Each structure stands twice: as structure tokens, then as C-alpha cells.
Amino acid sequence: MAEVDLHGYTVDEALRIFIDVYNRHVRRRSEESLRVIHGYGSATEGLDGGKIRLKIRTFLEGVGDSLDWKPGEDLEGNAGVTIVFPRKILPTSQNQLAADILAFCSIPRTESKIAGKRSRNQRSDPRSRPPRPTKIAAKGDGETYMTVA
């Protein structure tokens, strides 16, 4: 069984390393499972520890069409590992970002929403307009204005 040890990495680094090792494993057409060592995590009383474990397992749940996986506690009695059974390549974070941008851009938007312009109703609502200066006195050639809210 191949393995990858994610101890000592940040959560984002660990996920990136896992995806890279997993994809290399699949490209080699390896039939064996991948043992992901993430550790238990530091848990304080009443809190569930293991940020890397939680992130990896949440990620694995979202890519179920590419792989199967089992928690280590089910197979080995060890919550510090996750066993992954690869089937096909996972999207890299760059590919995922591109897919997210494409999905965002495919949603039709009006020009006013893109430009951030307010609607006609918002413009006619006096509460949404900035206060205008009001002429309060005129003396000789000078005029005095005051902003009334």
C-alpha cells in the first residue's frame, strides 16, 4: 500500500500535496490503495481536532465519482489515517478555480448589476439619496447653504 504523510503541513498545503500524490499514483496506473497519514490533530476537550483530517475527508466526499475511501478507524482502528481507493484523476486546484470562474461567468447578469448601478426604485427612494445642500440665507453677494438630512 502506497502512503503519503501530511504531518507538518498547513491545511491548504496538505490538500495540494494529497492531490498531487494521488494524481501521480493514478497516472502510474497503480492498483493499490493510498494510505493518507494526516494524524489525529490536536483536540481540546469538547472540540473535534484534526483540521487536515477534516479537510481531506470533506474533499474526498465531494469527489466521490473519482475515488472510494474509508476512514482509517473503520479499517485499521486508527483515526489518524484515511484509506483512498483511486479510480481516476482529480481536478487540481487550478482546474477547480477555472471551473468555478466559468460557472460564475455563465450566470446571466444585467449590465446594471455588473456596473453596480442602483435600480430606478432605489434612486427614487429619498432615503437612498445623499442629502442635498439647502439655501438657508442670502446676504449681499454671499449665500449660505446647509445640508439637511
The answer to whether the pTM exceeds 0.85 is no
Over the stretch 5-25, which tens digit does the pLDDT of each residue have? 999 899 889 999 999 999 999
pLDDT in tens, 77-122: 899 999 999 999 987 766 667 777 777 788 887 777 666 655 555 5
Whether the Cβ atoms of residue 72 and residue 78 lie closer than 8 Å to each other? yes
Beta bridge partners of 145: 135
C-alpha to C-alpha distance for 10 and 72, rounded to whole angstroms? 21
Neighbouring residues of 146: CB distance < 8 A, sequence distance ≥ 6: 133, 134, 136
